[in-house]
Chains A and B, each alone.
Chain A
Amino acid sequence: MGSTKSVALKYLGALTAAGAIAAAASMAWATAPVAAASQFVVGFANPITGAEATYGVSDQHAVEMAAAQINKAGGVLGQQIKIISCDTQATPAIGVACANAFVSDHVNAVIGFFNSSISIPASAILHTANIPMVTGASTNPKLTLQGFKNVFRLCGTDNYQGAVEADFAYKQLHVKRVVVLNDEETYGQGVSSFFSSTFKKLGGTVVAPQGINAAAADFSSVLTQIKGITPAIQAIQFGGFNPAAGLLVKQARALGITVPFITDDGVIGPLFYQTGGAATVGSYLSSAPSPQDLAHVKGASKSAQTFLKAYVAKYGQPTNFAAYNYDCLYVLASAAKAEHGTSARDLIKGLAATHKYQGVTGIVNFNKIGNNVTPQYLMYKVQSNGANKIFWNPNA
């Protein structure tokens, strides 16, 4: 459940749900114009408004940029790409309505959804309708473990990300006792639970794992409790998003908790420093390489720099998943070309056969269940000016 809406749902269940349905219904109208035969129609669903809109808007820009480039170069097998955008508001009920709208619009393929908590239920709808779906941001492993042949993922997965964090904490920071917190969303819980299992396997101890209510913004009780734990903990790991992460580290420092703060790529970005201020300096974040740092990845091409330049010129700095979403559309187009067709059958076959495709995020190879085997994670450290700098590269 999206954190932003969950509170309202708890108290005003029926009412908010009705609102969501109404919003979804109006959305379905807005996207009603159905594809002309000569168009390659791609449904794009991301949080365009709401707390996680920063990412969604950046992803949308990247996909639009890719579409404009492909169209300029002649389109997909002569068909012009048309993007139908749908705002999920990071809310599962609305995201699922987006998937249904795409089905009735007969889109060729779908790029999305940002939140794992939406991608998983939405993938079932797209699976029934046999529409190919490629995500550039949903990292929960379950998504590709459902046996759906139509689902592909370009970005990495939480188990790998959580494992990199645990490896880093145990082997680089040499900490043995860690408090593990998450924001009770699918994504945050995923990263945290994979952190915990890897950390325990390495020989570390996980203390008082629990969820925090991101909507409450006051975490002082949980932190007071953490401060009182004996023997003292040596690090805090948090799985989730902003502004919860920034507020959490700020309040921890205010209470006098000085241990390292380790978190994930749901947090990385300017907002972390804005909300947490100086308290965030020195925090460690696991993340796939930012578009700015793609050059540090094995197999990354010069196209990463070209992408970044073009994006910055048009929209400013991209957020972390923008390049993956950009690659999503290109991989779809390449699948269509390989199979000489744009039907669902052609696209799914073409995607599954994608081998050593050179994208801006690196080389794309889908495995049997639809995961891209290439993505790598790095550990970043927040600098005193708020910028993120690569601190540790497990692959180096």
Chain B
Amino acid sequence: MSPQELLQQIVNGLVVGSVYGLIALGYTMVYGIVRLINFAQGGLYEVGAYLGVFIFTLMGKFSLQNPVLAIAITLLASMVLTAGLAYLVERIAYRPLRNAPLLASLVSSLAVFFLLISLVQVITGAQPLTYPAVVSTTPWHLGPVVLSLTSVVIFVVAVLMMIGMQVFVQTTKSGKAMRAVAVNRNAASLMGINATRIVSLTFVLGGAMAAAAGVLYGLNYGTVTYDMGEFGGLVAFTAAVMGGIGNVPGALVGGLTVGVISSFASAFLPNQWNEAIVFGILILILALRPQGILGERVAERA
């Protein structure tokens, strides 16, 4: 492999890994607070991507031409709407099970995951939808590496969101409350923290991250399919575990790691080996560092 190819493969991996990392943020936040693997995250990611298509198309109708503005509005609108959906999901599918064994919530999250994916298919049909080409997809040649505007946007947005989330959790009052709830929900309630509201907030933030991942994915690849949430959701789950579930920067690190590993796996071996390699390395990492690359839960970092 030439150095030029090596560099290109790393870039390929970072772009796709950023999307996984954003979805993984949602897994990791929810796990950090309520110790639940929220499989609905994959469904929210897909819904976010589809909302993005509709909002984008709608803006085309109002002949909004500025691509930066169009992306920003679509991203925000889809994040807000998906966050709302995540709130409803929490309210309907998890809150009633708050005092049931965690396994019940886990099954409930799988149900929501399949429900969201099926709903997308029922509403939009099985045909893949395409994002309007508002952003130039002309490749940039940056030295030996080929890049596109959207791939840079994906990476930058993912890093910014991760930093924002970390700052939020570490410095704001709500973030502090979140960490308190993560340590001990009952004790936090006794201290006057509205734990129910904090749990809701966590789900809402996770939904917003998933939507951002969905819109960015759609922008970059141009096509969204009703089953994209299956693959994206599950790979992101792997990423969250790899990075250290419960750890905010770990989600992005995990996502990028999975992206780069699978990129190199496809480069050296026939593609059939791709998932075997990714999971092989996951097992290796977990055997050496059971807590994941960065380890620790949100709370324990306090």
Residues of A within 8 A of B (CB): 4-5, 7-8, 10-12, 15, 19, 49-54, 184, 210-213, 215-218, 220-222, 224-225, 227-228, 242-243, 246-247, 250, 254-256, 271, 274-275, 277
Contacts and interface: CB of A to CB of B under 8 A. Distances in A.
A51 B126 contact: yes
B80 to A, nearest CB: 26
B65 to A, nearest CB: 19
Give 10 nearest A-B pairs by CB, closest first.
Answer: A221-B266, A53-B126, A220-B12, A221-B263, A210-B270, A215-B231, A228-B5, A243-B128, A275-B223, A218-B16
B234 interface: yes
A227 B4 CA distance: 11
Contact of B222 (A10, A49, A211, A250): A250
A218 B218 CA distance: 12
B272 A53 contact: no
Given A51-B226, A221-B266, A247-B222, 19 more contacts: A5-B227, A7-B230, A10-B275, A51-B128, A52-B126, A53-B125, A53-B127, A213-B275, A215-B231, A217-B231, A221-B263, A222-B267, A225-B9, A227-B5, A228-B4, A243-B223, A254-B139, A255-B146, A274-B128
B271 A213 contact: yes
B57 interface: no
B74 interface: no
B174 interface: no
Contacts of B108: none
B172 interface: no
13 contacts: A51-B225, A54-B126, A54-B127, A210-B270, A210-B272, A215-B227, A217-B231, A224-B9, A225-B9, A228-B2, A228-B4, A243-B128, A255-B146
A254 B275 CA distance: 25
A254 B137 contact: yes
Contacts of A228: 1-2, 4-5
B168 interface: no
Contacts of B141: 256
B: contact size bracket: 35 or more
Interface in B131-152: 133, 137, 139, 141, 146, 148
The prevalent SS among residues of B at the interface is helix
Interface of B: 1-2, 4-5, 8-9, 12-13, 15-16, 110, 114, 121, 125-128, 130, 133, 137, 139, 141, 146, 148, 221-223, 225-228, 230-231, 234, 262-267, 270-272, 274-275
Nearest to A242: B128
Given A19-B114, A49-B121, A218-B221, A254 B146 contact: yes
B230 A274 contact: no
Nearest to B114: A19
Given A221-B267, A225-B266, A4 B227 contact: yes
A7 B223 contact: no
B275 A275 contact: no
B221 A217 contact: yes
A181 to B, nearest CB: 9
A50 B225 CA distance: 10
B223 A246 contact: yes
A7 B221 contact: no
A228 B4 CA distance: 9
Contacts of A256: 139, 141, 146
B130 A15 contact: no
A7 B148 contact: no
Nearest to B126: A53
Contacts of A216: 231, 274
Nearest to B39: A12
Contacts of B8: 224, 255
B223 A247 contact: yes
A215 B230 contact: yes
Given A220-B12, A224-B9, A51 B234 contact: no
Contacts of B266: 221-222, 225
Contacts of B125: 53
B247 to A, nearest CB: 22
